[in-house]
Structure 1
Amino acid sequence: MKEPMTEDLLNELLDSPDPAAFASKHKLVCRSLPDYLQQLLDERGLRRPEVVRQAGINPTFGYQIFVGQRNPSRNKLLQLAFAMKLSLRETNRLLQAGGCNELYCKNRRDAIIIFCINHGETLQTADEQLYAFHVDTITE
C-alpha cells in the first residue's frame, strides 16, 4: 500500500477545519515496530531468520524484536534496515516505529549512514565508511 507524501498530508491537515475528521479519514494510528517489520518482510518477500542473520543480530534477540518482546537500540534497527535494503524513507520510518531518532543529515555519523543507504551499500561497507571517518560503527 502506497502511503501519501507527508507534505501532502500536512497541507491537507492545515486546510482542514477539523483535526478529528482528518485523523479519522486517514486512519492515523501509531505504527508498532512489529507491525512495520512484518509489513516490510511481506512487501519484499523476505524471511525473518534470513534478515536477522544478515543483520548480524543474535537469532533469539532478533525474534524478540520482531514479536515486540524487546526494544532494539537505534543501531540494531539500522542493522535491520541494511539487511532489508530499505530506502532512506523506510529506514527513518523504521527508526520512528522503534522510538528512535530519524537519521539527520547535519549529524556527521548520520550523514555517512544516509549516504550509504542512498547508494545501496551493505552494512559492512557502511561500517567501513564510519570507521574511516573515526565515528562509531553501527555494529560496534
Structure 2
Amino acid sequence: MTNDISTSILFQRLKEAGSFEQYQQENRISPFSSPFHIYLSDLCAAKSMIPERVIKMALIDRTYGHQLFNGTRKPSRDKAIQLAFGLGLDIDGAQKLLERAQKSKLYPKIKRDAAILYCLYHKINLIEVQDMLSELGLTVLGGY
C-alpha cells in the first residue's frame, strides 16, 4: 500500500498520471474498508466497552453520541478527539481514529494539539484536559 511510499514520490506520480483512475490503480489508493461508525463500534467492542460508556467518558451529548455510533452523524475533529479520550486510546490510536474520521491528525507544533497529545500520552481524563486547555487560554474540545 502507499504507506511505504514518501509523499513527495506520490505527488510526483500524481502529476505524471494520465488520469486519476490510473494513479489510483497504480498506487493502490482505496477508501477505508468500513465507515467511521463501524470502525468506532469495532474499537468499542475490542475494548469491551459499550457505546453509552464511551459517550459519557467522551463528554458528548447522549443523542449526538448515539448518532455518531449509528452513522447518522459524522464527527468533527474535536468530537473524534473526545471519542479517543472516551475510549482511552493512546496517541497512535487517537491519530488512527482521526484518520478514519477523515480529520487532520494532531500536530505537536500546534500548541493546542501538543497539549492534547501530552494528555493522551499521560492518560489524563477529559475533564482535566478541558481544564488544562482553558487554563492555557486555548479552545476547549467541543468549545468555541
TM-score, with structure 1 as normaliser:
0.78
Is 1:115 equivalent to 2:118 in the alignment? Answer: yes
Larger of the two Rg values belongs to structure = 2
Contact 1:105 1:111 in 2 (8 A): yes
In 2, Cα distance between the equivalents of 1:137 and 1:113?
A: 10
In 1, Cα distance between the equivalents of 2:75 and 2:63?
A: 12
**Which residue of structure 2 lines up, in the alignment, with residue 132 of structure 1?**
135
**Which residue of structure 1 lines up, in the alignment, with residue 102 of structure 2?**
99
Cα deviation, residue 139, structure 1: 3.9
1:126 counterpart SS class = helix
Aligned-partner residue type, residue 10 of structure 1: D
Is 1:47 equivalent to 2:46 in the alignment? Answer: no
Consecutive unaligned residues in structure 2, runs of 5 or more: 10-23
**Which residue of structure 1 lines up, in the alignment, with residue 4 of structure 2?**
10
Where do 1:23-102 residues align within 5 Å?
23=28, 29-30=31-32, 31-102=34-105
Identical residues among aligned pairs (%): 27
> What is the alpha-carbon root mean square deviation over aligned residues?
2.4
TM-score, with structure 2 as normaliser:
0.76
Deviation per CA, 1:51-73, whole angstroms, max 9, x where unpaired?
11121212211111111111121
Deviation per CA, 1:16-48, whole angstroms, max 9, x where unpaired?
xxx858849xxx541421121012111100000
**Which residue of structure 2 lines up, in the alignment, with residue 3 of structure 1?**
none
